[in-house]
Amino acid sequence: MELLKFLDEKKLWKETKTFKRNEFIKLGNTLDSNLYFVVEGSVRVFILHEDEEKVIRFGYKNSIITALDSFLTEKPSIFNIQAIKKTTLKILDKNTFKQLIEKHSFIKEIWNKNLEELALQQIEREIDILTNSPKERYLRVLKRSPQLFQEIPNKHIASYLRMSPETLSRMKKH
């Protein structure tokens, strides 16, 4: 992770902050233009829809997480970001990041590559949810991200997979 090494060496992080279990890093319908690097712990990105939480994404050790729409547009986002367990994050503000992209082409290249990968992951996930059975979704996520099942509670994984916790539990037994 060339970018993280660079940020550490240049001491460019705005701050490092630890969040308690279930503490919100960002609330829905607020602006947040920070990038977060998960040092330890895990977080979930979710929306509330008709009083139900819909998990969109997870972040765990060594991943970068953000409310991407808010980061890009500098407008409020409906996304919530919440610590699932005690989590330590390094925080980089958008202005610092924009300056880095302007000064260092390799950072811009890394950012563009990460955005492309994220877009492809989201397309794959959307197709998965629309076309595959719950069992197929479970097996694909298990193959793609086995660490998820060690880091994240079943109720959040079930929400991410768009199934009930009971259905997930039955699948894990078989």
Question: Average pLDDT in the 61-71 region?
Answer: 94
Two tokens, residue 144: 């793609």
Alpha-carbon distance of 33 to 46, in angstroms, equals 17
Non-local (6+) Cβ contacts of 75 within 8 A are 31, 69
Q: How many CA atoms lie within 13 A of 38 on its CB side?
A: 23
Residue 146 has pLDDT above 70, yes or no: yes
**pLDDT value, residue 3:** 83
Which residue from 125, 119, 110 is spatially nearest to 2, judged by alpha carbons? 110
pLDDT digits (tens, 9 = 90+) for 92-134: 999 999 999 999 999 999 999 999 999 998 999 899 899 999 9
Non-local (6+) Cβ contacts of 32 within 8 A are 26, 66, 67, 70, 71, 77, 81
Residue 41 has pLDDT above 90, yes or no: yes
Domains, the chain, with CATH or none: 2-94 (2.60.120.10)
Alpha-carbon distance of 3 to 90, in angstroms, equals 13
Two tokens, residue 84: 């699932």
Question: Average pLDDT in the 67-92 region?
Answer: 96
**pLDDT value, residue 94:** 95
Residue 1 has pLDDT above 70, yes or no: no
Residues of the chain with pLDDT > 90: what percent? 81
Helix, strand and coil in the chain, % to nearest 5: 50, 25, 25
pLDDT digits (tens, 9 = 90+) for 11-31: 999 999 999 999 999 999 999
